[in-house]
């Protein structure tokens, strides 16, 4: 048995005869951006940047480029 990132496991699958990559997931990593208290302007800038990256397709393109899939 081997646990790890699905992308790497899928790539290595062909080198291990009889191996299979199970569907689903056992872990989800959520990311966050933190700001110091009292830095309202910086927090607003980061919020605007992140929302813009989601709207303009930057995040979706990064997901595609990394070979990830949403589940």
Average pLDDT, the chain: 80
Question: What pTM value is reported for the model?
Answer: 0.53
Domain spans in the chain, listed from the N-terminal domain onward: 6-65
CB 58 within 8 A of CB 64: no
Identify which of 17-26, 50-59, 61-70 has the greatest average pLDDT: 50-59
**DSSP helix, strand, coil percent of the chain (3-state; round to 5):** 50, 0, 50
> d(Cα 40, Cα 32) in Å, to the nearest integer?
17
Burial of 38 (0-12, 13-18, 19+ CB in 10 A): exposed
- Note the pLDDT of residue 7: 66
């Amino acid at each position: 048995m081997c646990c790890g990132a699905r992308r790497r496991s899928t790539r290595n699958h062909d080198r291990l005869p009889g191996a299979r990559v199970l569907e689903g997931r056992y872990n989800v990593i959520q990311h966050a951006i933190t700001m110091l208290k009292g830095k309202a302007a910086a927090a607003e800038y980061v919020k605007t940047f992140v929302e813009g990256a989601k709207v303009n397709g930057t995040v979706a393109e990064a997901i595609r480029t990394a070979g990830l899939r949403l589940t």
